[in-house]
Amino acid sequence: MSTVLIITMAFVLMFSHQASAGGILQIPSKDSLAHCIQSCGDIDISYPFGVGSDCFRQGFQLTCNYSTKHHPSKLFLGSSSSSAIQITRMEVDPSGAYLATPIIFHLATRPGSTNNTYNMSWKALAEGITIGSDNTLFVAGCDFDVTLLEYGTGDIIGSCTSRCAGKKVPNGGPCNGIGCCLIPFSRDLPGFRAKLVSTNTTATQSDWLHPGIMGIVTRDGSYYMNNATDIVSSWKDARNIGDAMLIVSIMDQPSCESAQMHNASYACSSGSSCQDSSSAGTGYHCYCSSYGLYDNNPYILDGCPQQDYNPKPNERCHTSSSCGTITVPFPFGIEEGCFANERFRLNCTSGNLTIVASQLVQYNVTNRWKMGH
């Protein structure tokens, strides 16, 4: 799927391995990155992200705070762990660079106060990071109106209301305006502000298990839309709540056209393609034009290998061959020139058909299914 990072704000221990300032502005090879830290705790690290000198693209610096007996290792996006974003999962996807972050709010209401307005806000810590349009804001609690605004411009993204009809926050059911409401993000945003107006502050305070108002932003909107139970049950401990998705762009040039004119610092490797960032409004990201290989990386040399797919077998090959009782249709094949590429090459030994996955692994083929269009 995509470069994905899951993040939260936190202060951390003093002994951390911090990346050097600056960052790489050329396309590195796998060999040149061999000295770099490959993981932090149980989180794998993939370029353009990196920890340490000559290990990260400019703007993708990480800091690893190493574990102790009572504190597991933590990974942060940024040069200083005390002010950076904590990463709890990362993926690098052929389509670009992405982050995912738990964005969670707990608001204490003020019964009897004349001020019945509350705010939830989130803003990216650095230019080039935006929150994606496939996120949804969920707000749980009783008797309030919510308006979601774009951070900075104040443009209205959407609104919702929650009512409890004098009762406590429901423990289950869908998020349909009874104790829970939601607002889908309609576009990528550099940040947001949610304005909440409470219509009855005493209602939320009457439920001691769920005091005040809780808000989350998550990419799993379709799930929580029908399972508000999980939101309410996470009121005191939201570690298992689904994460929001962020998008990260290359920001050393404003567009693909400009980046390609500055070839020495162009981030996209040979075989990859460039796309202007629609989310950040400036910058760009790289992606592999050929999909299907999970370990493709458009930011390193030879990171997007071409699939050299041969759509037709050689004339001497039959449209299908056989091994024992198993028919082998194209694009699979046994003889040289009779398969579409090496990934479709099969071996037939004493009537047994195998496919080689690596030098150490091979699979026996016992049957086959032909996929229709």
Which band of pLDDT confidence, cut at 50, 70 and 90, is reported for residue 119? very high
pLDDT surpassing 80 at residue 267: yes
Locate 356 and state its tokens.
């080689």
| Sequence-separated (6 or more) residues with CB below 8 Å from residue 281 | none
pLDDT surpassing 70 at residue 357: no
Share of the chain above pLDDT 90, in %: 23
Give the model confidence (pLDDT) of 48-83 as tens digits: 999 999 999 988 888 898 866 667 888 888 876 555
Task: Pinpoint the alpha helices (H) of 178-290.
Answer: 201-205, 221-226, 228-233, 256-261
pLDDT surpassing 70 at residue 122: yes
pLDDT surpassing 50 at residue 309: yes
User: Which pLDDT does position 102 carry in this prediction?
Assistant: 80
Q: How many helices (H) and strands (E) does the chain have?
A: 4, 25
**Average pLDDT for 313-327:** 76
Task: Compute and round to an integer the Cα radius of gyration of the chain.
Answer: 26
Q: Greater confidence, 320 or 216?
A: 216
pLDDT surpassing 90 at residue 20: no
The pTM assigned to this predicted structure is: 0.70
User: Which pLDDT does position 17 carry in this prediction?
Assistant: 38
Give the model confidence (pLDDT) of 208-257 as tens digits: 556 788 899 998 888 888 888 788 777 777 777 888 888 888 998 999 99
User: Which pLDDT does position 370 carry in this prediction?
Assistant: 44
pLDDT surpassing 70 at residue 368: no
User: Which pLDDT does position 31 carry in this prediction?
Assistant: 94
Kindly provide the residue ranges of all beta strands, DSSP E only, lying in 239-310, ordered along the sequence: 244-248, 272-276, 284-288
Structural domains in the chain? 5-96 (no CATH), 103-242 (2.60.120.380), 308-373 (no CATH)
**Average pLDDT for 113-132:** 84
Q: Greater confidence, 87 or 202?
A: 87
> Pick from 364, 363, 341, 370: which is nearest to 351 by CA?
364
Give the model confidence (pLDDT) of 23-32 as tens digits: 889 999 999 9
Between 12-16, 99-103, 131-135, 340-344, the lowest mean confidence (pLDDT) is in 12-16
pLDDT surpassing 90 at residue 135: yes
Q: Greater confidence, 149 or 213?
A: 149
pLDDT surpassing 80 at residue 299: yes
